[in-house]
């Protein structure tokens, strides 16, 4: 099924030890040869991870069936309508459906029976105690167990805490009807919403946690056409890699926001500080943009789960607790800026630019706009908002506020504008036209999109993160 594979680095054919008792990792940067035949793949779950994973594997020539218990979502997909917004996804889905490589169904059992590799890509939201709610994973594992008709590889693609691979194996063993062998693999995703297709096609690394080398090679074979670096390790280590990676990125964000808060008091410019730090190859500039903090479906959930995982193992992860606290406080500090500048917010109209947790997505999960708008409403302000994509999802959370069709309508008769999400179109606004629409030319920029000195020259009162003294001319330093 597979041509001889050539690696630019050594590959340990013995693979990882069963049970993950010790880490024995092998890294091979590039697979030079690709397989000759397609695989039959089932992806359970059609959220961001599952739908993108299924579409990309189909695009690589495999036969893929994506299954979900949500009938309305599957019906949408059958009609070539996307349940999520992700650039490039619709085109890829339509192309592979037309070429009969990608199909959608609500029959999970059928999908399992037709496939040799089954990916679990269901939601793992935080439970009340902060640990991951694995009920969807265990429910799916039971269905897989009842439909095992021959050897299969079960792949945990969902973000799950360490030990979940063992749990899935136990559930399947307990519930399987036939005496059929199977293996459980951890293959965490590292995609970013808004660039999920690119991140799946060109990942920095592909992590495969497997009980032995033979199982690992089945997944290596699947990913070989991408010709990207792969790390083969045990299941427990693969599960930890995902959480440790997200926790570290969250730490960078909270760290730079804490530094930005100091900069405001010291009269320093956080943008210049970030540039100076970013030139250090040991640090790098990624995830060092000061702002309102991280949001979305990953960082907050994963940080919380890792803290509670550590608690269960008897370790108090104080550093990560502080990271979470800083992130929670950041939007509230920002609202304090608005209160300090505007005084009593009762009856004032505040325009919000950007609702999604980040650009190029309609995802409102843990979006900082929720914290900011909630606080403004509680203070009696009238809120009007605009986002290029996320308005429909925002209406489910804030049906009582006014929504605009563009940024200029949002500025109309507003006492202030608040920038929450750094959409590119906001960087290109005609600021003179924007100012003409406002009652008072004051902007609170939660993403540091503009040059404070330029905003001052244009006649705006400009408040941002970690560099606002520059807008008042206190030290004469140009922010760019």
Whether the predicted pLDDT of 479 surpasses 50: no
Whether the predicted pLDDT of 25 surpasses 50: no
Whether the predicted pLDDT of 418 surpasses 70: yes
Which of 6-10, 23-27, 192-196 reaches the highest mean pLDDT? 192-196
Whether the predicted pLDDT of 16 surpasses 50: no
Out of 27-36, 206-215, 256-265, 441-450, which region has the weakest mean confidence (pLDDT)?
27-36
Question: Average pLDDT in the 61-71 region?
Answer: 97
Reported confidence tier of residue 297, pLDDT bands at 50, 70, 90: confident
Whether the predicted pLDDT of 197 surpasses 90: yes
Instruction: Give residue 361's pLDDT.
Output: 93
The C-alpha atoms of residue 78 and residue 210 are separated, in whole angstroms, by 34
| Average pLDDT value for the chain | 90
Instruction: Give residue 17's pLDDT.
Output: 39
Pinpoint the residues of the chain covered by CATH 3.40.50.720. Answer: 38-201, 268-472
Q: Are 467 and 479 in contact (CB under 8 A)?
A: yes
118 phi/psi in degrees, rounded to 5: -120, 120
Interval 134-171: pLDDT, tens: 999 999 999 999 999 999 999 999 999 999 999 999 99
Instruction: Pick the closest to residue 444 from 273, 291, 296 (CA basis).
Output: 291
Q: What are the C-alpha distances in Å from 287 to residues 256, 294, 395, 419? A: 9, 10, 29, 19
Q: Are 451 and 480 in contact (CB under 8 A)?
A: yes
Interval 330-375: pLDDT, tens: 999 999 999 999 999 999 999 999 999 999 999 999 999 999 999 9
Q: Are 68 and 106 in contact (CB under 8 A)?
A: yes
Whether the predicted pLDDT of 31 surpasses 60: no
Whether the predicted pLDDT of 316 surpasses 80: yes
Instruction: Say yes or no: domain 38-201 is CATH 3.40.50.720.
Output: yes
Whether the predicted pLDDT of 36 surpasses 60: no
Out of 26-35, 126-135, 326-335, which region has the weakest mean confidence (pLDDT)?
26-35
For residue 338, what are the contacts with CB-CB under 8 A and spacing of at least 6? 345, 350, 376, 416, 418, 444, 463
In the block, residue with structure tokens 């009807």: 177
Helices 368-378, 318-342: crossing angle, 10 deg rounding: 40
Q: Where are the alpha helices (DSSP H) in 299-418?
A: 299-312, 318-342, 368-378, 391-397, 407-411
Instruction: Give residue 279's pLDDT.
Output: 96
Instruction: Give residue 203's pLDDT.
Output: 95
In the block, residue with structure tokens 């409102």: 364
Instruction: Give residue 307's pLDDT.
Output: 96
Whether the predicted pLDDT of 291 surpasses 90: yes
Instruction: Give residue 139's pLDDT.
Output: 97
Instruction: Give residue 1's pLDDT.
Output: 37
Q: Between residues 81 and 27, which one has the greater pLDDT?
A: 81
The C-alpha atoms of residue 184 and residue 164 are separated, in whole angstroms, by 10
Instruction: Give residue 468's pLDDT.
Output: 62
Question: Catalytic residues, which ones?
Answer: 298
Reported confidence tier of residue 324, pLDDT bands at 50, 70, 90: very high
* Cross-sheet strand order for the sheet of 382-386: 402-403, 382-386, 349-353, 416-419, 442-445, 461-463
Which of 269-295 are b and which e, b meaning 16 or more Cβ less than 10 Å from the residue's Cβ?
Answer: bbbbbbeebeeeeeeeeeebbbbbbbb
Name the percent of the chain lying above pLDDT 90.
86
Q: Is 150 exposed, middle or buried (0-12, 13-18, 19+ CB in 10 A)?
A: exposed
Topology at the third CATH level for domain 268-472? Rossmann fold (3.40.50)
CB atoms within 10 A of CB 308: 18
Query: In the chain, count of helices (H) and strands (E)?
Result: 18, 15
Whether the predicted pLDDT of 4 surpasses 60: no
Interval 420-447: pLDDT, tens: 999 999 999 999 999 999 999 999 999 9
Q: Record the tokens describing residue 203, joined without a space.
A: 């990942």
Question: Average pLDDT in the 116-138 region?
Answer: 94
Calculate the dihedral angle through the C-alpha atoms of 191, 357, 397, 46, rounding to the nearest 10 degrees.
-10
């Amino acid at each position: 099924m597979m041509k001889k594979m050539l690696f630019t680095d050594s590959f340990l054919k013995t693979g990882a030890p069963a049970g993950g008792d010790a880490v024995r990792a092998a890294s091979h940067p590039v697979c030079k040869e690709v397989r000759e035949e397609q695989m039959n793949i089932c992806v359970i779950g059609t959220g961001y991870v599952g739908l993108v994973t299924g579409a990309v594997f189909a695009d690589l020539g495999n036969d893929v069936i994506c299954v979900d218990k949500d009938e309305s979502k599957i019906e949408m997909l059958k009609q070539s309508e996307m349940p999520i917004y992700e650039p490039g996804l619709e085109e890829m889905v339509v192309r592979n459906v037309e070429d009969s490589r990608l199909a959608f169904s609500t029959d999970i059992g059928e999908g399992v029976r037709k496939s040799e590799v089954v990916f679990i890509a269901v939601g793992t939201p935080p439970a009340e105690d902060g640990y991951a709610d694995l009920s969807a994973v265990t429910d799916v594992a039971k269905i897989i167990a009842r439909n095992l008709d021959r050897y299969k590889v079960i792949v945990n693609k969902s973000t799950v805490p360490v030990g979940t691979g063992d749990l899935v194996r136990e559930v399947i063993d307990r519930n399987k009807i036939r005496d059929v062998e199977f293996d459980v693999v951890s293959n965490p995703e590292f995609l970013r919403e808004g660039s999920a297709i690119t991140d799946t096609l060109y990942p920095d690394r592909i992590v495969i946690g497997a009980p032995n080398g033979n199982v690992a090679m089945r997944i290596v074979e699947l990913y070989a056409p991408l010709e990207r670096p792969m790390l083969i390790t045990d299941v427990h280590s693969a599960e930890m890699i995902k959480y440790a990676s997200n926790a570290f990125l969250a730490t960078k964000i909270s760290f730079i926001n804490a530094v930005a808060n100091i900069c405001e008091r010291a009269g320093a410019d956080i943008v210049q500080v970030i540039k100076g730090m970013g030139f250090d190859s040991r640090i790098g500039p990624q995830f060092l943009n000061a702002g309102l903090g991280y949001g979305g479906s990953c960082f907050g959930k994963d940080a919380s789960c890792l803290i509670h995982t550590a608690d269960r193992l008897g370790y108090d992860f104080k550093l990560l607790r502080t990271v979470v606290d800083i992130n929670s406080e950041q939007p509230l500090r920002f609202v304090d800026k608005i209160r300090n500048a505007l005084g009593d917010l009762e009856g004032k109209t505040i325009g919000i630019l950007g609702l999604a947790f980040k650009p190029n997505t309609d995802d409102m999960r843990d979006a900082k706009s929720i914290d900011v708008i909630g606080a403004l409403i509680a203070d009696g302000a009238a809120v009007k908002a605009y986002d290029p994509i996320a308005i429909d999802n925002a209406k489910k959370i804030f049906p009582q506020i006014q929504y605009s069709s563009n940024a200029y309508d949002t500025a109309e008769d507003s006492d202030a504008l608040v920038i929450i999400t750094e959409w590119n179109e906001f960087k290109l606004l005609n600021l003179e036209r924007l100012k003409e629409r406002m009652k008072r030319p004051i902007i609170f920029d939660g993403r540091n999109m503009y040059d404070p000195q330029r905003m001052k020259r244009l006649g705006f009162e400009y408040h941002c993160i970690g560099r606002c003294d520059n807008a008042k001319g206190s030290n004469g330093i140009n922010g760019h």
